[in-house]
Amino acid sequence: MELVTPEWGLVIWTSITFLILLVLLKAFAWKPIMSAITERESSIEKALLKAEAAKEEMARLTSENEALIKQARAERDQILSDAKKVKEQMISDAKELAHREGARMIELARVEINNQKAVAMADVKNQVAVLSIQIAEKVLQGQLEDQNKQDALVAQLLKEVTL
């Protein structure tokens, strides 16, 4: 039973030892422990503040990236639109140029055809004239071989000529 019910001397000496230990701990260990705890709290608080700042910075950067992506997409769409307009304008210009060039070539062909036609008509007229002269010459030769026919022709021509 001695262990369950201690003597008063033991209780007093244990209490005095505990109080001395408590005073020594308060004098030498309590301040360093409290300063370490305070320092740890402040470092945790700073880390939390830095984490919050980093989170806000990430949110800001994310929104900036999204804005840049939207702007890049808008610029891409504008560039594609401009390129499409330029392409359509180039096609339209090429078609018009081809149309004008075709019309010019058709007109040149018409002029050339008319020139060739005029040359051919002049050639045909010359050939007709030569053939007419040859035919008239042969006819006249046939009629003028006979002296009586020559005299009759001269008499007829004299009647037709009036002075």
Non-local (6+) Cβ contacts of 144 within 8 A are 150, 153
Rounded to an integer, what distance in angstroms lies between the CA atom of residue 105 and that of residue 99? 10
Residue 29 lies in a domain: yes
Residue 81 lies in a domain: yes
Task: Please determine, for residue 142, whether its predicted confidence score (pLDDT) is greater than 60.
Answer: yes
Residue 2 lies in a domain: no
Residue 78 lies in a domain: yes
What domain range includes position 118?
Answer: 8-160
- pLDDT band, very low/low/confident/very high, at 151 (cuts 50, 70, 90): confident
The pLDDT value recorded for residue 156 is 80
- Quick check: 140 and 134 in contact, CB under 8 A? no
Looking at the structure of the chain, the number of domains it has is: 1
Q: Could you report the per-residue pLDDT of 20-45, keeping only the tens digit for each?
A: 999 998 888 888 888 899 999 999 99
Helix pair 31-144, 147-160: axis angle to 10 deg: 110
Residue 3 lies in a domain: no
pTM over 0.75: no
Torsion-angle region of residue 51: left (phi > 0), alpha (psi -120 to 50) or beta? alpha
The pLDDT value recorded for residue 3 is 62
- Quick check: 143 and 153 in contact, CB under 8 A? yes
What DSSP line would sit under 111-146, residue for residue? HHHHHHHHHHHHHHHHHHHHHHHHHHHHHHHHHHTS
Q: Could you report the per-residue pLDDT of 44-78, keeping only the tens digit for each?
A: 999 999 999 999 999 999 999 999 999 999 999 99
Which H or E element spans position 34?
helix 31-144
- Mean pLDDT of the chain, nearest integer: 88
Residue 42 lies in a domain: yes
The pLDDT value recorded for residue 149 is 73
- Quick check: 149 and 143 in contact, CB under 8 A? yes
Rounded to an integer, what distance in angstroms lies between the CA atom of residue 105 and that of residue 109? 6
- pLDDT band, very low/low/confident/very high, at 110 (cuts 50, 70, 90): very high
Residue 1 lies in a domain: no
Residue 21 lies in a domain: yes
